[in-house]
Amino acid sequence: MTRCRDTEPFQVTQSVGGRYRLIENGAAVLEANEFLEALELRGLSRLTVRAYAYDLASLYRWLTKTERKLEELSAADLVDFIAVQRQAGAEPRSINRRLSTTRLLYRFRKNQELCSARGVSWPAPHYKGPGRDHYLGIHRLRRRAARAVRVKQPHKLVEPLSPEQVRSFLRSLERYRDLGIVHLMLLCGLRSKEVLELELADVVFADGRVRVRGKGERERMVPLPDPLATILRQYLGLERPRRCSEPRLFVVLQGRRRGEPMTAAGLRSLFRHRRRRAALAIANAHRFRHTFGADMARAGVRLPVLQRLMGHADLRTTLGYIELSLADVTEQYERAMKTVSERYRKR
C-alpha cells in the first residue's frame, strides 16, 4: 500500500490494486471507505474515486477540528465549512465539489438529505429564467425540490493557443511519439488520460479513425486526419521498440523502462520542460484540447457534433470550450467597424 505525503491525521492511501481509501493515523475510516467502495461498484473511474477520497479527507479534517459529527450536520454547518475552505485558499469550484461530496456521503449514511437551518442564503428558485434552459430554449427546466448550498463560481475565459504558439511548440518536439501525442490533442481533442490509454488496435489506419475510451467508460470514434496518420506511422516504424509486446500505443523510448507504457508523469514532463519559455507558459495538455474546441467552433462545426467529438456528456461543458477569445472578438469588431465607419463617413 502506498501512502500520500501528508502530515494531517486523515490521509488518502492507494492499495496495490489501485483502490483509494481514507485512513486516520493508520486506521481505516469505515464509513468513508464504504462510500468509496460503493462508488467503485457503480463503475466510476479511478480518478473520480480518487477525487472523492481527497474531498473526504478535507471534510473529516474539518469535522475533527470543529468537533462536529457527520450525522448531525445541517446546511448551516456547511456555511462554516465554506468559510474554512475560503480561508485556506480553495477555489470556488473545489469548494462546490467538496460540498457535493459531503451531501452525497450524508445521504449514503442516513438515507435522507441534509436538513435546512437558519442563517443560510439560498439561491433564487427561478434564477435560470422562466422555465426553460437559456442555452437552446427548447427544454423545460424541472423545479428542484431542494436547493443545495453552493459558492458562486466566477466565469473564467480560457484563451486558446495562438497559431504562433502552436507552431513554436511543435518545432520544439524531436520525436514522432511526442508529435503524435500533441496532434491527438490538437487535431482530435483527446484528453491526456485518453491519449495514454490508447492501444495499438484503437488506431485503424485503413478506415481513418481512432477509438477513444473517455470518461465514465464511454467510447467514441473520432476521425484520424492524414497528417496525424503519417506521424503515427513514422513513430511505429522508426521509434517504437520492435519487440515491444505492450498493447498501449505510446511507450517509453529509452532508459530502463524502455518499452513500458508511458505514464501521466512522463506526459506532463513533455509539456513542463517546454513551458519554461515565456511564450509557451500556458501551453499545457488541456490547452491544446481547448484549442481544438475553439478551432472546430471557428470552422463552423455544429454544437452536437463538437460535443460528440470531445466526449462531453453535458452540452454545457462543450459550450465552455467554444467561448470567443479576445482575439476572436477583436477580429469581428474590427471587421464590423470598417462597415460602420464607411456608413458614417463624410461624403
> pLDDT averaged over consecutive 10-residue blocks of the chain (347 residues)?
59 84 88 93 86 94 93 89 92 92 92 72 52 56 62 75 92 95 96 95 95 87 96 96 92 93 92 83 89 88 89 82 64 83 76
Which three cell numbers mark 234?
513514422
CATH 1.10.443.10 domain span(s) along the chain: 163-328
pLDDT at 323: 64
pLDDT at 153: 75
pLDDT at 151: 81
Topology of domain 163-328, CATH: hpI Integrase; Chain A (1.10.443)
CA distances in angstroms from 222 to 184, 209, 282, 309, listed in the order given? 10, 6, 26, 6
Alpha-carbon span 43 to 110, nearest angstrom: 22
Given the candidates 3.40.190, 3.30.1490, 2.20.25, 1.10.150, the CATH classification of the domain at 2-110 is 1.10.150
Phi-psi category of 67—alpha, beta or left, where left has phi over 0 and alpha has psi -120 to 50?
left
pTM of the model: 0.71
CATH 1.10.150 domain span(s) along the chain: 2-110
CB 22 within 8 A of CB 10: yes
pLDDT at 342: 82
pLDDT at 1: 45
CB 143 within 8 A of CB 102: no
pLDDT at 125: 52
Taking CA 35 as the corner, what is the angle to CA 34 and CA 41, rounded to the nearest 5 degrees?
90
